[in-house]
A = this chain, B = another copy of it.
Amino acid sequence: MFNVGADVIGTAKKGAGEKTKAAIFETALELFRRGGFEVTTMRDIARSAKVATGAAYYYFPSKEAIVAAYYDQVQVLHAEKVRLELGGKAGLRERLGVAMHSKLEILKDDRKFLGALFRYTGDPDHPLSVFGKGTQAQRSQSVAIFQEAIAGTDLSEALRQLLPWVLWLAHLGMILVFIYDETEGQQRTHRLADGILDLLTQFIVLTSSALVRPFVQPWQTKILGMLREAGWTGET
């Protein structure tokens, strides 16, 4: 009568779904990489994965959702990579560099379909909007990575709270630039990232120096206040 607790392990038709989902996912990514996002059709994906069209929608609510799933995976990879490469590095600037560049390295072969992530940026209510409620979880995850990057460095409480968010935003912009960057290996984007990180860390260091602090502190306060008022500190 009742399902007697016992969280099911092997549900009906076993985890057949897992394999199908993976097949669809992998196939889609391959096609996206080859032909780009727009050119690749859901029917193409289904056919290539040897399933019916509807199957794709049983596992992914939309075409863009496949890219979103890919990006979830990217976040995991990024977290691992950062944790790995952060060993030893203690300086703020260096740690931020690791966080940024490693992300771009992970994305390097996928510029052709990465743009799909931004498709609903102007649509606050869409579940896949980069800034929307529907993506809050992923956002928190991503922010957490930057949190880890600045962990252990000497920062004011305010900065420790807001910097990860700022970095996340900056890194979003970086990804956009990355998509547009046609230079060999997207060096231009990498250089831009370095430049921005240089400025940012210099600013932060300044606000800690007793000498200039009185002059710069009000700025920091103002910037942080603005971000807070904008409700951008996240989870609310």
Contact = CB atoms under 8 A, between A and B. Distances in A.
A121 B198 CA distance: 27
A177 B230 contact: yes
A119 interface: yes
A198 B179 contact: no
Interface in A173-228: 176-177, 179-180, 188, 191-192, 195-196, 198-199, 202, 212, 215, 219, 222-223, 225-226
Nearest to A37: B123
Could you tell me the dominant secondary structure of chain A's interface residues?
helix
Contacts of A176: 121-122, 131
Interface of A: 38, 114-119, 121-124, 131, 176-177, 179-180, 188, 191-192, 195-196, 198-199, 202, 212, 215, 219, 222-223, 225-226, 229-231
Contacts of A114: 122
Contacts of A123: 38, 115
A192 B122 contact: no
B179 A199 contact: no
- Residue of A116, A177, A179, A230 with most partner-chain B CB within 10 A: A230
B215 A180 contact: no
Nearest to A230: B192
A52 to B, nearest CB: 27
